[in-house]
Chain A
Amino acid sequence: MSERIRSMRRNGTFLALPTTLWLLVFFVLPLVIVLVVSFMSRGRGGVAIMPLTIGHYQRTFGIFSIILWRSIGLAAMTTVVCLLAGYPLAFFISTRRSRLFQQITLFLVILPFWTNFLIRTYAWRILLGDEGAINGVLISLGLISEPLKMLNTQFAVLVGLVYGFLPFMVLPIYASVERFNFRYVDAAHDLGANDVRAFVRVVLPLTLPGVLAGCALVFIPSVGAFVTPDLLGGTKGLMIGNLINNQFGGSGNMPLGSALSIVMMAVVMLSLVIYLLANRRERGT
């Protein structure tokens, strides 16, 4: 290592300066503003005015708590469904012998990203609607006589979220199964473990970092999602993201929106802390 690079390493703060400034101006500062606003009162046109109040937090945990919990619940369910669907898929892909096959299937997994998220979500409206493709097929098959009510339900939101975030589960799990040394499975078999026990005791723990990363990557954006519930959930599938979105519109309430944002951020932080703790325990440090 050259002397120059070594001194640069010593002066790490210097290297981190641009990023630090960036974060201060565009992340910490807005956050402080949001925090302050969340304790102010609502003025005409939804802007924030004095005096200070904790009323918005009371409403957040009061009448809006149902939506808060729904958001957490839907995000948790999305995470679980993504995990149950994504793990086997990622496992399948990463254990294929042919590299080419792996690359093609991974490409297919991320292919939807090439189309605008909004458009893809609209497509689900067409699929899930009363006159939509799914109901059409079911009715023509004679399985149902009345169309199933799917659009504008929490179910539709769940479907949309799982669809949107599944790749975020598949990719990190793929990466950790890919790194997994299958000699350990031989060793487990050798010591008397059947396939199920070898999976539970050896494969799963050793691929857990990927699972945890996938869960964090799916849960966090799901909690704050607003496009999907907006388009697919209607009023029954409203999530906290929509609520926040509404507060900053025409007849909104910026202080309430700020309070809701802070609470949502707290939820995200909490899930991140859980993730980090789980990950640390996993690494045994």
Chain B
Amino acid sequence: MKSYDVELQDIVKDFDSGGAQIRAVDYVSVQIADGEFFALLGPSGCGKTTTLRLIAGFEQPTEGHILIRGRAMEGIPAYHRPVNTVFQDYALFPHLTVEQNIMFGLQMEGVNKREALKRAQDALEMVRLPDIGKRKPHQLSGGQQQRVALARALVKQPAVLLLDEPLGALDLKLRKSMQYELKALQRDVGITFIYVTHDQEEAITMADRIAVMNEGKMLQVGTPKEIYERPGTHFVADFIGETNFIPATLLKRENDGRGRVRLPDGSEICAALSDDLTTTSGAVTLAIRPERIGLASDVSAESATDRDLDILDAKLVDSQYIGTDTRYTLQIAEGTELVARVQNVDGRNSAAFDIGQTVKIFWHHSSTTVLDH
């Protein structure tokens, strides 16, 4: 049996707020493997921080069980759990120097001062800030504080590191380079990371697996590729990247995970069914990413006979040059528009079509996903 570092079993967390109950976490179950970089992704208020605080032990679940390294966490206070947290606002102790901040956790373990200082300095070395040990947190930049917070947590050598939007306060450029550094660091130290973010790009580039949350529920868990290419629900498809949603009718489910659907223009195409699809026939939603849609004045005979390709007629409504790509707005039926994004190669595409012209659009079956309406 595979060993899990963190297991959540049917976790519910209700908050009492002025008489009204708020369900911050709604029956969440997930298993996170040893050494995994696991991202919790979702919009503001969906319960990411609460989930993290439950694992850390700052909050107790209303229902359900939390296991860390196979051990049930009921009744185990935060200070006895083998996890450490990098807080969203870092929470560096303002009255202590950087070194003292990092030594704090070691001293709580009974490590003597000399040893603690040495390890604190090593930790600062690791986050590439060897010379700031004597400073106070308020004398550091946001990026430096972030690294100190990381060093303070990592020096404890936890089984699991919990990070709550650790890059949220940084500017875009620093953010990018810190993403890279964090990922490299995680690979080096081999600690399980549970990483909260509401930035889908960050989650996709960094995580081994992503859990998409909304309104306290964990909607889908999977690799970035699975989440991006095989979204299970409308919400996930919408939240991750840009998606075209086309109202459609499911005519027939095939056994190979595909189905025949009818589009608003009356054409029938073949599309991949989402794993989470419950509809057996009738109204559904077809999702397709803009960059998966191809565009041509005409299609070659060869393509036309490719059985894995869906080909439609569309009217070009608008085109917009956005540097690397050109965005085309296309109408496939009255009231149904799609966006296609085509990479600009040799400056060809942007000039190739006229507004109002009828073009052929095409995509591969596997690029579409049929979702519940």
Residues on A lying within 8 angstroms of B by beta carbon are 181, 183-184, 186-194, 197, 201-202, 205-206, 282, 284
Contact = CB atoms under 8 A, between A and B. Distances in A.
B95 A284 contact: yes
Interface string B39-58: 00000000000000100111
Interface string B187-199: 0000000000000
A95 to B, nearest CB: 15
A177 to B, nearest CB: 15
B77 A205 contact: no
B341 interface: no
Interface string B231-269: 000000000000000000000000000000000000000
A193 B79 contact: yes
Interface residues of B, number: 26
Interface stretch (B2-10, B62-70, B83-91): B83-91
Contacts of A186: 53, 56, 58, 78, 85, 87, 91
Given A189-B79, A191-B156, A192-B79, A197 B108 contact: yes
Contact of B104 (A181, A183, A191, A282): A191
Contacts of B95: 205-206, 282, 284
Nearest to A190: B85
Contacts of A191: 79, 84, 104-105, 108, 152, 156
B292 interface: no
A240 B19 CA distance: 56
B45 to A, nearest CB: 18
Contacts of B87: 183, 186-187
Given A183-B91, A206-B94, A206-B95, A189 B77 contact: yes
Contacts of A187: 85, 87, 91-93
B109 interface: yes
B239 to A, nearest CB: 28
Contacts of A189: 57-58, 77-79
B94 A193 contact: no
Contacts of B89: 183
A192 B109 CA distance: 7
Contacts of B93: 184, 187-188, 202, 206
Given A190-B85, A206-B94, A284-B136, A201 B104 contact: yes
A181 B91 CA distance: 9
A200 B79 CA distance: 15
Contacts of B85: 186-187, 190
A184 B91 contact: yes
A214 to B, nearest CB: 18
A284 B135 CA distance: 11
B49 to A, nearest CB: 11
B59 to A, nearest CB: 10
A243 B246 CA distance: 93
Contacts of A192: 79-80, 105, 108-109, 156
Contacts of B91: 181, 183-184, 186-187
Given A187-B92, A189-B78, A190-B84, 14 more contacts: A183-B87, A183-B89, A184-B91, A186-B91, A187-B85, A187-B91, A190-B58, A190-B78, A191-B108, A191-B152, A192-B109, A205-B95, A206-B94, A282-B95
A181 B94 CA distance: 11
Interface in B82-127: 83-85, 87, 89, 91-95, 104-105, 108-109
A205 B104 CA distance: 14
- Of the candidates B83, B85, B136, the one having the most CB atoms from chain A within 10 angstroms of its own CB is B85
A272 B153 CA distance: 40
- Of the candidates B79, B83, B153, B156, the one having the most CB atoms from chain A within 10 angstroms of its own CB is B79
A191 B78 CA distance: 9
A123 to B, nearest CB: 40
7 contacts: A187-B91, A190-B85, A191-B108, A191-B156, A192-B109, A194-B77, A201-B104
